Amino acid sequence: MKHFVKSFLGTLTIISVLCCCAKPEDNKNEETAVPTDIILSQESYEAPQAGGAITLTVTAPSRPTVSAAPAWITMPDGTYNSKTYKISYNVKVAENTSTDGRSATITIKAGSLSKDFKVTQPGKEAQDSTPKEMTLDKHAVTIRQAGGQASVIVTSPLEAAVADVPEWLEVSNTSFKNYKMKFTFKAPENDSYDERSATIKVSAGSFTDQITVTQEAKFKDPDAIDNTAWNRGMELGLGWNMGNHMDAINNGVSSETAWGNPKATQATFTGLKAKGFSSVRIPITWAGHIGAAPDYKIEDAWMNRVAEIVGYAKTAGLNVIINTHHDEDHGDGMWQNLKGAVDSESVNTKVKEEISAVWTQIAVKFKDEGDYLMMESFNELIYGDEWYSSSNTQKKCNVINEWNQAFVDAVRAAGGNNATRWLGVPGYAASPNYLTYLTVPNDPEGKTMLAFHCYDPYDYTIGAAQLADWGHTGSAYTNGENEIKKLFKGIYENYIAKDIPIYMGEFGCSMRDKNAPYSWAFYLYYLEYVVKCARTYGIAPFLWDNGAEGVGREKHPYINHGTGDYMATGKEPVETMVKAWSVHSNDYNLQTVYDSAPVF
């Protein structure tokens, strides 16, 4: 115990001595000296390509400021410690999706002092862009009959070449760059009535493929056929629709002046005939003038006004078509409810009863009128608001076929000349796309025509786009003529050549500004080509005229509905269409119209 105490006292003595030897300053709190420069924890950062982050610590005599960083670097401000003179920044660098490297210099300032911090980042490794095989952007091209060119882009690991090129084709190509070459095939006018075609071999090393180059033939008018269908088309000739007139409707009641047109007069039809039209289609809405079931009695005043207008057209020497027009239901509750009839047989039965009652009364009213008067069952029947049938198309069209048969049966049984007069029936939406679903009704007289409407292409004619041009010399719908010709040719081959009469109950194009030479020229050309093509294939066309003054969408003003005079800019397009229908010779035909398309 004594030994322990002795040792402990010795230790205390040593500690005491050491404490007495220490300097007084060593007892004060240590303070950081004010830095005289900016010090960075690191002066550069090489970020990985995938992106990364570091903490950059900056020592400066005062709170530093940082210059703007590019978008791929984020560097939010930190908290400056005025005792340690330090601030930390969390530097984040985004992924570099480019194959190119990038760098940025960020300047950090504190008073008059500054220091640069540099960020670099490599780009991603470039993928091997060498194609593994040869590909063509198209395998078939068409050159117009008048001559022209078409191109195909070939992508391949090696330079490509073509072979088996006929004499009528010239071939040129661009240099091989970025594994691509463009081959351009050029042909002069094809003066033959036969289409010509060539299969061109394309090769690049061991890779091979082929391109089919076709040139259209010189157009040859189809032969006029001495059958009922062709002759009936010629008899109807160029027709005019008195649209937005007797078909106008307001609050469920049709009215002649509801949509702004004046009342029709004898002068209307006398003027129409004098301008070269041979037929008139008078769209009529009967809604608001039909009584309750089961008689569905048509109001005498409305029926008599229809008869009066038909009489004007008869006196002028015109063929006449009357129909039921906006009685069709387009999701707006009208009585020709196709959707209801398709979905419910009881609704279908009810609608057919009204169809029979309405058409019986109309037919009886006109039973003594001759063959100049034709009756058309409906306008544009659709399922609800479906202009394009998306499903159950056959079922929908079967109901329309039933309705058309009810119409034919009612008219034929109404007595007088109704037994032999011409009748017309449209299909779904009156669209040519659904003609194959339309059946010719059982008609003991065999004088029922099929009907269709054509406003192709929609974006040029009546759609909101109102494009400035159409056809092979324009920039929009450069294949437009071929599309119209293909449609009318198909109708000729499938119907007229088989002696099934058919007519185009509506066609047209919204009026263009006559003071805009470019769009006006193409507008006239469109109307001329469509009418000439219809004449060529024996299809009687009926121009839509709604009397709406002005230019633009749904403006179709040609003939004043009250006076028969031309409307503001109606004269030139009407004369153009009349010529297209009435003049047909070697010097003026579909080919010469095509060849005379506007060029600007």
For the CA atoms of 574, 575, 578, 584, the dihedral, rounded to the nearest 10 degrees, stands at -150
User: Nearest to residue 433, comparing CAs of 478, 483, 365?
Assistant: 483
**Beta pairing class for 113-121 and 44-46:** parallel
| For residue 294, cis peptide bond before it (omega within 30 degrees of 0) | yes
Helix H, strand E, coil C: the string for 106-128 is EEEEECCEEEEEEEEECCCCCCC
Please enumerate in sequence order all residues whose Cβ is within 8 A of that of 233, keeping only pairs 6 or more positions apart, or say none: 496, 501, 502, 503, 538, 539, 540
CA pair distance 344, 352, nearest whole angstrom: 12
Residues tagged active-site:
380, 506
Q: Taking the C-alpha atoms of 337, 341, 343 and 344 in order, what is their torsion angle to the nearest 10 degrees? A: 120
CA distance linking residue 557 with residue 243, whole number of Å: 10
The radius of gyration computed from the CA coordinates of the chain, to the nearest angstrom, equals 42
As beta bridge partners, residue 196 has: 215
| Largest pairwise CA distance in the chain | 154
Cα gap 257→556, rounded to integer Å: 17
How many Å apart are CA 343 and CA 338, to the nearest integer? Answer: 9
| Residues 311, 325: Cα–Cα separation, whole Å | 20
> CA 519, CA 356: separation in Å to the nearest integer?
46
**In angstroms, rounded to a whole number, what is the distance separating the alpha carbons of residues 321 and 54?**
84
Q: Name the pairing type of β-strands 373-376 and 319-323.
A: parallel
